[in-house]
Amino acid sequence: MSRTPRYFLQSYGCQMNKLDSELVESRLVASGYERAGSEQDADVVLLNTCSVRQHAEDRVWSRLGVLRQEKRQRPELVVGVLGCMAQEHRRYLQARMPHVDLVVGPSAFGDIDQQVERARSEAAARRVAHEEAVQKDPRATPGGAGIVTVDHGVSGDTIHRDVRVRPHRSQAYVSVMRGCNMPCAYCIVPTTRGAEISRPIAQIVEEAQRLCDDGVTEITLLGQTVNAYGRDLGRDVTLARLLRALHEIPSLRRLAFITSHPNFLNRELVDALAGLDKVSRFLHLPAQSGSNRVLKAMRRGYTFERYVARIELLREAAPDYELHSDWIVGFPGETEEDFAKTIELMEAVRFAQSYVFKYSPRPGTLAAEQGVDDVPDDVKAERNRILLEVQERHTAEKNQALVGQVEEVLVEGPSKVEGRYSGRTRQHRIVHFAADDPALIGRYVPVRIDEALGHSLVGVRLAENAAEDGARARTEVRA
């Protein structure tokens, strides 16, 4: 009797990429596959890839090199490249990577199980051919790149998600839209993921309800420009309306969404954020630069002043929101004056958290096609360092201000330090506290903050009624 086929799936990208992997897994499990403990134990190895940064791509190319060797030993192994690199580099994969059997773009995961099945039977046929080939040349590599589906496949969002296939019991991602219609000059996403396609509100609410029925209490909505949600579905469909609909699910306790674009932070959304108490108190709103000249070259569609005005709108209505940002330093043409404006914006808004990236041209983007990358690497590195230093000062000040407060923490699991568990507050801050009880994972516990570290907080878990009334006598809970 043949054994149950096994897959090994590895994600190399963003949250959207990880959610795609869950959808692919749920489809494979529904078709009778089981997860392998390791690559060596798998019949099918799938790499779900990301094109946004060179580093992520490099890791995949090196993995594919290892898999080429593996396939020489096991010609029946099926190797698949999924996601943004599959879309972006399909021709290269077909031409130069004959050991790759399956190339599937991010908008074509809906029937991934059938594609894997086809790839397996084609690989079996190639195995026979390979055995004949090695008779003549022992170094022969099995031929691959049999199936390539990129632009016109069945979208992963059509998968009726098996909500039981997920890595965390109490937390889940839900995709609300695919693609992006924005023209940012440095970004490959519109090419790899295509134009915006939003899912109907009813479909998202149904999926969220099933997740909550299965024990999820925190949902994070995903979209490349999540606050542009619904504009392809008509004027009545907006992120604000979606948040209000999801807010009605009784067992849902926290609702977050990433990533937002400054241009779509409007009055309707701000009112929803202020009024819906289940919505987490942080907003990821990448500014990228503070220089109007650079923002124009990036084609971001806003100015320093407009960005600040949007934040003021939010802070007037909901002062408890923390802001997170992404920044690119060393964009082509960025001068010292431009960079000074970026620092000015950072100082003006005082973000809780920032990711800083040194500009590197990504093939296929407008900025790369213009062929200019004129800020030297050492200048990029220095600007990167300065920006991180400013951010760390702001983060430290904000964390320090929380010492002595009681925060509600959703426990995520053991921390790296033995004898401690970690979780997140409603403002997405990481909190560590002494504990040694796996039953805490997924629970909301009150933690008194005793110490502010650079990027996280350390506290003491309190008896569970303490967060409801900060003035009440607080009982520490020992690990």
- Residues engaged in binding ligand SF4 (CB under 6 A): 180, 182, 184, 187, 189-190, 224-225, 261
Minimal distance, residue 30 CB to ligand SF4, in Å: 30
For ligand SF4, the closer of residues 82 and 189 by Cβ is: 189
For ligand SF4, the closer of residues 67 and 258 by Cβ is: 258
Q: Where are the alpha helices (DSSP H) in 194-335?
A: 201-213, 239-247, 267-275, 292-298, 304-317
For ligand SF4, the closer of residues 362 and 448 by Cβ is: 362
Minimal distance, residue 121 CB to ligand SF4, in Å: 37
Neighbours of 58 (CB within 10 A): 10
| DSSP label at residue 455 | S
Minimal distance, residue 286 CB to ligand SF4, in Å: 7
For ligand SF4, the closer of residues 112 and 222 by Cβ is: 222
For CA atoms 436, 441, 445, 450, give the dihedral sign: positive
- What the block records as the tokens of 232 is 């392809």
Peptide bond connecting 259 to the previous residue in cis, omega within 30 degrees of 0 = yes
For ligand SF4, the closer of residues 345 and 449 by Cβ is: 345
* Helical axes 304-317 vs 267-275, angle rounded to 10°: 30
Minimal distance, residue 77 CB to ligand SF4, in Å: 34
Q: Report phi then psi at 89, rounded to 5.
A: -115, 25
Minimal distance, residue 327 CB to ligand SF4, in Å: 12
For ligand SF4, the closer of residues 224 and 422 by Cβ is: 224
Q: 224 to each of 179, 229, 272, 281, how far by Cα in Å?
A: 7, 9, 20, 20
Among left, alpha and beta (phi > 0; psi -120 to 50; other), residue 138 is alpha
For ligand SF4, the closer of residues 97 and 187 by Cβ is: 187
Among left, alpha and beta (phi > 0; psi -120 to 50; other), residue 404 is left
CA atoms of 208 and 374, how far apart (whole Å): 47
Q: Are 59 and 12 in contact (CB under 8 A)?
A: yes
Minimal distance, residue 359 CB to ligand SF4, in Å: 13
Minimal distance, residue 392 CB to ligand SF4, in Å: 24
SS3 content of the chain, % helix, strand, coil (to 5): 40, 20, 40
CA atoms of 353 and 346, how far apart (whole Å): 10
| DSSP label at residue 476 | B
Q: Please, what is the end-to-end C-alpha distance for the chain in angstroms? A: 50
Minimal distance, residue 277 CB to ligand SF4, in Å: 28
Q: Which amino acid is at 157?
A: D
For ligand SF4, the closer of residues 143 and 301 by Cβ is: 301
For ligand SF4, the closer of residues 180 and 242 by Cβ is: 180
Minimal distance, residue 177 CB to ligand SF4, in Å: 11
The helix/strand/coil state of 10 is strand
